[in-house]
Amino acid sequence: MPRERPPMNIYVDADACPVKPEVYKVAERHRLPVFVVSADVMAVPREPRITPVIVGPAFDAADDWIAERAGPGDVVVTADVPLASRCVKAGAAVIGPTGRPFTEDSVGMALATRNLMQDLREAGAVTGGPRPFSPRDRSRFLQALHETIEKLKRGRSSS
């Protein structure tokens, strides 16, 4: 008898996430549960598959909550590179809000770039932040999330 797989979950690092509505839309289409993890109360749709998780203000509490639960077959949405690294190592599929996937191959370089930029900002050499979030980023994210879920579903049905 085949072993039952745990359900695929979507975890959203929600405090600064610009694509929460897109996550809800794609999750509803695929009938997947979403955990919206934040430091404080956040408005989320009243849907049975969407669960708000308030972890409190402790440093990295949301990251820790997500990293302790995300694993193979799950999707994590975050722009936080250290969290992305932890989740990739745990086997989860990780997507940034611009649709950029974090993979085993890319997350090391992303961490190095993040650390370099942090050092430059602290030294005063870089004062600007990331470019503004665009409609193109939103569209790319929608496509990346849908494709990631489809790929994970195919992998679940073939094994």
Asked if residue 47 belongs to a domain, the reply is: yes
For the segment 44-56, the average pLDDT, to the nearest whole number, is 95
For the segment 38-49, the average pLDDT, to the nearest whole number, is 94
Q: CATH number of the domain that 140 lies in? A: 3.40.50
Question: 57 pLDDT exceeds 50?
Answer: yes
Asked if residue 4 belongs to a domain, the reply is: no
Asked if residue 159 belongs to a domain, the reply is: no
Q: What is the pLDDT of residue 1?
A: 46
Asked if residue 5 belongs to a domain, the reply is: no
Domain assignment of residue 38, given as a range: 10-154
Look at the chain and report how many structural domains it folds into.
Answer: 1
pLDDT-based confidence at residue 144 (cuts at 50, 70, 90):
very high
Instruction: Calculate the average pLDDT of the chain.
Output: 87
Kindly give, in sequence order, each residue whose CB lies less than 8 Å from that of residue 24, ignoring residues fewer than 6 positions away.
34, 44, 45, 47, 50
How many percent of the chain have pLDDT more than 90? 67
The C-alpha atoms of residue 88 and residue 104 are separated, in whole angstroms, by 6
